[in-house]
Structure formats: C-alpha cells, structure tokens
Structure 1
Amino acid sequence: MKDSKKLYKVAFGLAVFTIIYNILEGLISTYLGFEDESLALFGFGADSFIEVISGLGIAHMILRIQSNPESKRDGFERTALRITGFAFYILVVALVITSMYNIWIGHKPLTTFWGVIISAISIVVMWALVAWKRRVGNQLNSAPILADANCTMVCVYMSVILLVSSGIYELFGILYIDSLGTLGLAYFAFKEGKECFEKAKNDTHCCCD
C-alpha cells in the first residue's frame, strides 16, 4: 500500500513536471519562432501550450485513480479533453493556412538554429518522461498511466520533425523545408485532436499507440 502511494506521488510529480516544462517550452519556442520567423518553431511552441491543458487533465486523472483505481473518466477530464481537442483543431487550421501561404510567397526563416536546440532538448526530456511514466505505470499495473506514456511519445515524434526540418534548413537552406516541417506538426496535432474527442466520448484510455 505504501509503495503504491509513493508511486502515485511520483506519477503526479511527473504530470506536474510535464505541465511546467510545456509552459516554459511554449513561451521560449513561440518567442524565438516569432523572432526568427520560423513557423515550425512557433507552431511547436503553440502545441506545447495545448499540451498544458491536456496535462491538467492527466494530473486530475492520476489523483482520481489514486483514490479509486476502478473509477471512470469524470466530467473534468472529459471537458479538458474537449477543450484540448478544439485547441488542436484550431492550431491545425492556423498552421496549414500559414504554411501554405509561406510556400506561396517563398518565405524563409531568418534562422532555425533555436529550433535545432529546443527540439534536441525536448527529445531527451520527453523520452525520459516516457520511460519513467512507463516504469511507474508497469509497477502500478495502471493502464491509464501507461496510456499517458504512449501519448507523451507523440511529443517525441513532433520534436523529431522540428529537429529534422530545422536541421536541414540550418545546414542547407532548402526553401520550403520550414513550412513542410510545419505541415508535419499539423498532421500530429490533427491526430491528437481527434484522439481527444474519441477519449472524451468513452472510457478508453488512449489511442496513441
């Protein structure tokens, strides 16, 4: 009993850390993305802010299952999922329209250096979070926590897209690569939005496999 209580505290701590990290990542990425005229970095930062809303739902979920592991998803979590889903869809529309416009006018970012740095840091941090969440989830035999770990992997994929697009542009200055990277981020944002609405309608834990 004591061990499980301690593990739930660790799981909640990981959720809080994820929220704080995404706030900082969002602030830094949107600022530098705007300054460097890198849509991919700016979109990455905007996605981080949306992940904060999702993170609040996850933190609440952990407190709920700690009190009653067999309990179902409650109203707070469903509302958080719907808000997150709407936010992702709005982000997708904004990123697709802006990236297509940038391709149309041949826009190029001033630099993507910070995109490389931020994405590399994010890959390391998010991968560590995935491993830690999976470890705690397996020890607790908790499907919801393991599902959250799987969903965190999406952040790793998005970080890889930002790293690749930013790295290619920084090395070779290829036109449109920043916009193409943005479209890649929009694809995953759309998938996340869809999954949020699916989860809000039922009690399945995650579709992020």
Structure 2
Amino acid sequence: MSTPETRACDDGCCAAPATVTAARRAALGRRVRWLVAATITYNVIEAVVAISAGAEASSAALIGFGLDSVIEVASAAAVAWQFSGPDPEARERTALKVIAVSFFALAGYVAFEAVRTLTGAEPAEGSTVGIVLAAVSLLVMPGLSYAQRRAGRELGSASAVADSHQTLLCTYLSGVLLVGLLLNALFGWYWADPAVALVIAVVAVKEGRTAWRGEHCC
C-alpha cells in the first residue's frame, strides 16, 4: 500500500507500517469506514439539493457543485469497497484510479456547461437555496476531511487521504460557489456563475491527475 516514496513525505505525515499495531490498524479501518459512510450520506443530500436548485436557476456552478457531490460519493464508495475486503492494500490502486476518473468526468461536464453559458446560453438566476447549501457545506466539510485525512495518514492509506482531499476540495468549492452566487444575487453578475464553474473544472483536473499518479501524501 505505502511505497518507500510515499513514506518519505517531506512533512513526515506517513507512519511506517511497523509502528501501527494490528489492533490499531483494525480500529483505524473501522473509523475510515464510518467517516466514509458519513461523507456519502451528506453528499447524497447535497447532490440532490444542489442539482435541483441549479436546474431551477440555470446555474452551471450549482449543477457542477452537485455533480462534485456525486463524484465525492463515488470516491467515498471506492474507499469503502477497498476497506471492505480482507486485503485493503491490494485494492488501493484501483480505488485511486476510480477517484481520478471521477474527477476528470466532473471537469469535462462542468467546463462544457460553463463555456456554453458564457457564449450565449441562458444566464443563471439567483438561488437562495444554493447560497444556504454552500454556507452549510463550508461548515461541515472541513471536519470530515480532517478526520479522514488523519486516520488515513496513520493507517498509511493513500486512497483514504485522496478521498479526504476530495472532501477538502468540496470545502474550497463551497467557498468559491458562495462568492459566485452572492455576486449574482446581489449585483446581477451572471458571469460569476460560469466563472466559478470553470474554477471547479480546473481544480478537479488537478486533483484527478494527483490521484491517478498516486501522489497524495499518505
């Protein structure tokens, strides 16, 4: 699971497998599964609300945010699948590939919708529901990300850390989305919505490449 390269992280975040007892590894594995379950539950709700509100307001940014939640569910499910087997290490590379592909799919769709809006499609309307959702996510996601990243690092699992990065990405996107929606609602800056969507696409590509290469520090 952990290669010599990933254990040689500059910030010393990786715990060598020998320093983690079997009992501790089992406890960490259970913690990761519980955190994954919480992440999936929240993101399913977030996706339904964001996509519905985005469709109503013709908001590429809100729809992209909702799709990111769908991707987060897929990412978390990949980690859950990995840790459901007797040998999580053997499944880690596959889990990372699933996470990477999910990022790329998100980036492609969101970029297409953003460009379509900027080049003459129906401009986005204001969305109070979207503003509230972005604010709530901005409060919830950092705690989930920190807890999963901490457990993943101690366990030495690159996929768990990669999934925590996905959750942290949702935090950043919540902040960016909130700014874009407020600008549109308060000042009528409709272009802020597709601009935010393009930011989401760019960040998703970056995270996808990192996951594909297995470069998340564990």
- Report what 1:142 is aligned to: 155
TM-score by length of structure 2 reads 0.76
Whether 1:21 and 2:42 are equivalent positions in the alignment is yes
Query: Does the 8 Å contact 1:108/1:175 carry over to 2?
Result: yes
Change in Cα spacing, 1:34 to 1:121, as seen in structure 2 (3 Å) is same
Residues 72, 166 of structure 2: 8 Å contact kept? no
Q: Which amino acid aligns with 1:16?
A: A
Paired residue total: 195
Cross-structure match for 2:78:
57
Q: Is the 8 A contact 1:195 1:207 kept in 2?
A: no
Asked if 1 retains the 8 angstrom alpha-carbon contact of 2:125 and 2:185, the reply is no
Q: How has the CA–CA distance of structure 1 residues 96 and 150 changed in structure 2, closer, same or farther, with 3 Å as cutoff?
A: closer
Q: Which residue of 1 aligns with 2:177?
A: 162
Greater Cα shift, 81-90 or 161-170: 81-90
**Unaligned segments of structure 1, at least 5 residues:** none
Identity of aligned residues (%): 30
Contact 1:106–1:176 (CA under 8 A) maintained in structure 2: no
- 2:67 counterpart of 1:34: no
Task: Give the CA RMSD over aligned residues.
Answer: 2.6
In 1, Cα distance between the equivalents of 2:40 and 2:144?
Answer: 12
Q: In 2, Cα distance between the equivalents of 1:147 and 1:87?
A: 12
1:48 pairs with one of 63, 66, 69: 69
Q: 1:171 to 1:143 in 2, by over 3 A?
A: farther
With the length of structure 1 as denominator, give the TM-score of the two structures.
0.79
SS at match of 2:190: coil
The farther-off stretch of 124-133 and 98-107 is: 98-107
Q: Post-superposition shift, 1:118?
A: 1.0
Distance 1:3 1:73 in 2: 19
Contact 2:71 2:106 in 1 (8 A): no
Instruction: Tell me, yes or no, if structure 1 residue 82 matches structure 2 residue 97.
Output: yes
Following superposition, the deviation at residue 108 of structure 1 comes to 2.2
Relative to structure 1, the CA distance from residue 196 to residue 180 in structure 2 (aligned partners, 3 Å threshold; closer, same or farther) is same
Offset at residue 56 of structure 1 (A): 1.2
Q: Once structures 1 and 2 are overlaid, which stretch shifts more, 80-89 or 40-49?
A: 80-89
**Counterpart-to-counterpart distance in 2, 1:82 and 1:107:** 35
Bigger relative CO (Cα 8 Å, ≥ 6 apart): 2
Matched-pair contact (CA < 8 Å) for 1:95–1:182? yes
> d(CA) in 2 for partners of 1:136 and 1:96?
33
Give 1:115's match in structure 2, choosing from 130, 144, 148.
Answer: 130
TM-superposed CA distance for 1:78, in Å, is 3.6
Q: Which residue of 2 aligns with 1:195?
A: 210
1:14 is paired with a residue of what secondary structure? helix
Alignment match of 1:99 (pick from 114, 122, 128): 114
- The question of 1:8 aligning with 2:8 is answered no
Contact 2:54 2:63 survives alignment (8 Å): yes
**Structure-2 change in CA distance of 1:39 and 1:180 (3 Å):** same
